[in-house]
Chain A
């Protein structure tokens, strides 16, 4: 066997070490930010913090949590995630179920499918979308963050493919027993596709939590979701950093402050991640490799 040869053994040792280093590279920056956020400002300003807090302090977190802008933007993000995921999943299910039928059952199926897919290929772009939002009076309204992306065509295709794999016999039996499509959808298709639904919901949820650009253009400053609020902080202090060197004391506390906010924003994803991971590989592969 090849893996008993000494050459392969040496390769294997090196390979394990290399992969270990690569995977550490993916999380060490996050550890560094956590360490900075938990360190005393003297240590931070002297650049003594690496991956472990120096002179442990929760000051930055106290400051973040008592900050009203932060808590209100956090609330906006939570609202957005809950409402946005619910609306989006409902619309995606409503589109995916009929489109999973043959064109014999749903006449014009291909035309309708292309109607949706075309929105992935071509769009009006940023400025006409902005004008539409202002005409609909959705500026500075939660609707501007939730409604435009609600029909997620990619999720729709994934779910459609999943529905197609539901055994035909189950559906026929239900229709024979007098169930209409609504009943079949809710009693048979949705329970069977629970793993797919959970995956897509988690993806939608993470997407809403993470998106910031729509908040930047559609919301006013006092109504930003967390990611947008964070972006303004990062970009503003970035400009300051570019002009001065990092030496004055006030800005150093800002560095810990900023680090604490970054970490809090990343936290839900890190906490959700183990649940996410169980499902997403299946979902990804479902979309990417077929037949």
Chain B
């Protein structure tokens, strides 16, 4: 009943107002607790990067070694190779994942038949929703040098069979190409949304001035899409050290470790598989710090030049 609320004295009304808002903090409690346990506690575990951590002695009694592991990282030849591999694959993916969806969105925008457009969109989004195990399984079958679909097609054209997943140079190419194949459709969504937002009167005016579709694209569409492309490109800067852990872990093999091993897979193999916990953690920590700096820089740039904010 609303009457009782207005009849109450001011003090208790303020009290009830306060009580209403404490519920908000009570709601936040479980998520804060979860984030603390599962995200912040592991950060405390990073001290092991400065220890010679042994599982049976634990954090409290393991020997402190200072920056020993970091010194080792900087002297190991593996480090240079692995970092180089990471950068090559990641930069390749970033570049291709910027250009391909952009062009694809422009082409798709020219389709006037709604049904055809929607069908194309439905089909190209699909690979995004399958994980790298499924895609990896498909790729291994399709790319197999003996009787895989692609190599069979290539031999019909008279091309020698290629061992896409077993030869270092091809392996990198395959990683980039398959990542683009999986994601380009989905990345297109943002550009399509931006295209839909362009004011049609701009095109009408250009039309009246005698501009053909090519001119309209060059002088209206592309400039209008530039800001969003710059934002996406800037934000992907935060990913230069992430070359795709799950993809590479699924698809690589000892044959291509030299050219296919990236920082994340190297940390996994050294740290968890070979049990060099402290070394793996130190390498991971180094990567996390650099990545974090890149992400912060990327968001700052995106905010300053394109006014982009997360919240």
Contact = CB atoms under 8 A, between A and B. Distances in A.
Interface of A: 1-3, 5, 7-8, 11-12, 15-16, 18-20, 22-27, 29-30, 32-33, 36, 47, 50, 91-92, 94-95, 97-99, 101, 105-106, 112-113, 115-117, 119, 121-132, 136, 147-151, 156-157, 160-161, 175-178, 180-182, 185, 206, 210-213, 217, 227, 230-231, 234-235, 238-239, 241-242, 245-247, 255, 258-259, 261-262, 265-266, 269-270, 273, 276-277, 281, 284-285, 288-291
Contacts of B136: 231, 234
B28 A124 contact: no
Interface stretch (B74-82, B85-93, B120-128): B120-128
Given A29-B138, A113-B311, A121 B126 contact: no
- Which 7 A-B pairs have CB atoms at the shortest separation, nearest pair first? A124-B42, A128-B45, A210-B131, A125-B284, A95-B31, A47-B147, A23-B123
B239 interface: no
Given A16-B116, A289-B194, A180 B43 contact: no
Which of B129, B193, B288 has the most C-beta atoms of chain A within 10 angstroms of its own C-beta? Answer: B129
A145 to B, nearest CB: 12
Contacts of B280: 126-127
Interface of B: 2, 5, 19-21, 23-25, 27-28, 30-32, 34-35, 37-46, 48, 55, 104, 107-108, 110-112, 116, 119-120, 122-127, 129-131, 133-134, 136-142, 144, 146-147, 149, 152, 165-166, 181, 185-186, 189-190, 193-194, 197, 207, 212-213, 216, 228, 245-246, 249-250, 253, 255, 267-268, 271-272, 277, 280-281, 284-285, 288-289, 292, 295-296, 307-311
B143 to A, nearest CB: 10
B191 to A, nearest CB: 10
A241 B255 CA distance: 12
Contacts of A106: 21, 24-25
Given A261-B137, A276-B129, 6 more contacts: A11-B213, A15-B110, A117-B310, A124-B43, A128-B42, A234-B250
B281 A289 contact: no
A249 B17 CA distance: 75
A153 to B, nearest CB: 8
A128 B152 contact: no
B212 A5 contact: yes
Contact of A121 (B23, B55, B110, B295): B295
Nearest to B22: A181
A65 B45 CA distance: 42
Contacts of A126: 267-268, 271-272, 280, 284
B253 A227 contact: no
Nearest to A230: B133
Given A148-B38, A151-B31, A285-B193, A238 B253 contact: yes
A98 B24 contact: yes
16 contacts: A8-B213, A15-B111, A23-B124, A26-B185, A29-B139, A112-B32, A123-B43, A126-B271, A128-B46, A130-B272, A227-B134, A241-B144, A255-B141, A262-B138, A266-B130, A288-B193
Contacts of B23: 180-182
A147 B38 CA distance: 8
A95 B111 CA distance: 42
A13 to B, nearest CB: 11
B257 to A, nearest CB: 12
Nearest to B4: A178
Contacts, number: 275
A76 to B, nearest CB: 15
A24 B123 contact: yes
Given A2-B207, A95-B28, A98-B28, A15 B133 contact: no
Contact of A234 (B119, B133, B152, B255): B133
A157 B149 contact: no
Contact of B42 (A16, A115, A125, A234): A125
Contact of B126 (A26, A151, A217): A26
B140 A22 contact: no
A91 B27 contact: no
Nearest to A44: B147
Given A121-B295, A277-B122, A127 B31 contact: no
A5 B215 CA distance: 14
A172 to B, nearest CB: 12
A83 B213 CA distance: 52
A137 B207 CA distance: 69
Nearest to A120: B295
B130 A128 contact: no
Contacts of A291: 307
Contacts of A231: 133, 136, 250
Nearest to A246: B146
Contact of A2 (B213, B228, B295, B310): B213
A124 to B, nearest CB: 3
Nearest to A185: B27
